[in-house]
Amino acid sequence: DCPDRASSVKWTYVGEPRTRAAAMRRANGKCELCGEPGFKQSNGKRYLESHHIIALADQGSDQMTNVIALCPNHHREAHFGERGEELEKEMILKLSTIERISGPTTLL
């Protein structure tokens, strides 16, 4: 007996890789929400995930003012947690503070 199968189509919005890379450089290995370092990868670098605060699918921009580097726990919570809306507000506030203190981040 074979298990039932279903076919599906999924659309994914792809952000600019340079924006993602610039957010990672800005974060310098630490979650921009909680400040904790990402776990160390086998190559010695810290692991973080980039996140569009306002999703591209919801007309969010692919600019540094909308992309934040998060630890995996906060990234999953932002997408699936009950505090999603609260985290969105916290992330917007954090990024506005970072940009005000350090100035705009370059993409190169």
Q: Note the pLDDT of residue 16.
A: 82
Structure tokens at 99: 């940009």
Q: Note the pLDDT of residue 71.
A: 97
Mean pLDDT by 10 residues, the chain (108 residues): 69 77 95 97 97 88 92 97 95 86 61
Structure tokens at 60: 């969010």
Q: Please report which residue ranges of 1-108 form alpha helices under DSSP H.
A: 17-27, 72-80, 84-102
Q: Note the pLDDT of residue 98.
A: 79
Q: Note the pLDDT of residue 31.
A: 98
Helix axes 84-102, 72-80, angle to 10 degrees: 130
pTM for this entry: 0.79
Q: Note the pLDDT of residue 68.
A: 96
Q: Note the pLDDT of residue 59.
A: 83
Q: Note the pLDDT of residue 87.
A: 96
**In the Cβ-directed half-sphere of 68, how many Cα atoms lie within 13 Å?**
29
* Type and span of the H or E element at 49: strand 49-52
Q: Are the beta carbons of 6 and 82 closer than 8 angstroms?
A: no
What is the C-alpha separation between 44 and 59, in angstroms, rounded? 35
Structure tokens at 76: 């999953």
